[in-house]
Amino acid sequence: MPHRLGSFQLLAVRVNRVVQRLSRDAFGGPRVIRLAWVINAQKGGTIPFIAALMWWFGNASAAAWVYLGLHGGYGLGWLVKDLLVPDRGWQQRVTVGGALLSFLLVLAPYWVLPWLLISPVLGPDRPQPTPALMAACIVIFTVGLTLMIGADAQKNATLAARPGLITNGFYARMRHPNYLGEMLIDGAFALMVRHWSPWVILGAIWTFVFMTNVAAQEVSLSRHPGWPAYKARTGLLLPRFRRR
């Protein structure tokens, strides 16, 4: 039996339903486009997009190259993951309007970050990220990518074999390690830019997409046997370590 929803979680679930409805059926019409195609187009287009920014603005700085490696590498990693262990949730078909809204409101805003870093919009004399900051971003990104790909691969492989709660591996101490991984990856990109605006963009995506998805998944997970005990010993996004 699903647990009783609190007011905040109930609101998050309702927002998630609206977001899902818009992404599937915006402006009506037949559902002819797989959502995965839209996501993969943005992920795969990130390296060409950042390279074009570097060429257009004549910026071949170390920070621009590191950012291309991080954000572009993430896109390639996503494509490999989708090829080998595709997420069933992204295989749904959506309307053309839903695909456009998903791209413009959720995916394309990520490209604002490299534009802010590489273009002179924040000031032509803006200091470059220090080597120490870039190294920290690489570490954060690496941890995030490991969590995201590892947790997604474990989830998809496990659920293909048996339904139910996943309580071991990446999910032994936290219930949504893949979302934590995504947020670490995004945070590394924002740290490279060193401006408040990327955090506004990410905050909106995390709030209206990530956290509402997490709330909806919590409701779904609560229907499985063993949920109360599993929830009690794990954290939502951060790992919970039991006291000895």
Q: How confident is the model at residue 10 (pLDDT cuts 50, 70, 90)?
A: confident
Whether 5 shows a pLDDT value over 70: the answer reads: no
State the pLDDT at residue 2: 47
Higher pLDDT, 22 or 9: 22
Confidence of residue 243 (pLDDT cuts 50, 70, 90): low
The two tokens of residue 11 are 């609101």
Strands (E), the chain: 33-34, 93-94
Q: Considering the chain, what is the average pLDDT of its residues?
A: 93
Q: Which of 66, 82, 87, 80 is nearest to 192 (CA)?
A: 66
Q: What pLDDT is attached to residue 126?
A: 85
The structure's pTM equals 0.93
As a whole number, mean pLDDT of residues 221-225 equals 92
pLDDT digits (tens, 9 = 90+) for 48-79: 999 999 999 999 999 999 999 999 999 999 99
Tell me: pLDDT of 238 over 80.
yes
- What is the percentage of the chain residues whose pLDDT exceeds 70? 97
Confidence grade of residue 87 (pLDDT, cut at 50, 70, 90): confident
Taking residues 19-41, what's their average pLDDT? Answer: 94
Are 25 and 101 a contacting pair, CB within 8 Å?
A: no
Q: Which amino acid is at 50?
A: I
Strand segments, DSSP code E, in 25-100 are 33-34, 93-94
Confidence of residue 3 (pLDDT cuts 50, 70, 90): low
Angle 46-56/35-44 helices, nearest 10 degrees?
40
User: For 107-162, what is each residue's pLDDT tens digit?
Assistant: 999 999 999 999 999 988 888 899 999 999 999 999 999 999 999 999 988 988 88
Written as one letter, the residue type at 98 is G
Residue 235: strand, helix, or coil: strand
Nearest alpha-carbon partner for 138 in 76, 184, 200, 78: 184
Q: What mean pLDDT is predicted for residues 214-241?
A: 93
Region 188-207: mean pLDDT is 97
The 10 Å CB-count burial string (b at 16+, else e) for 1-35 is eeeebeeebeebbebbeebbebbbebeeeeeebeb
Average pLDDT estimate for 196-207: 97
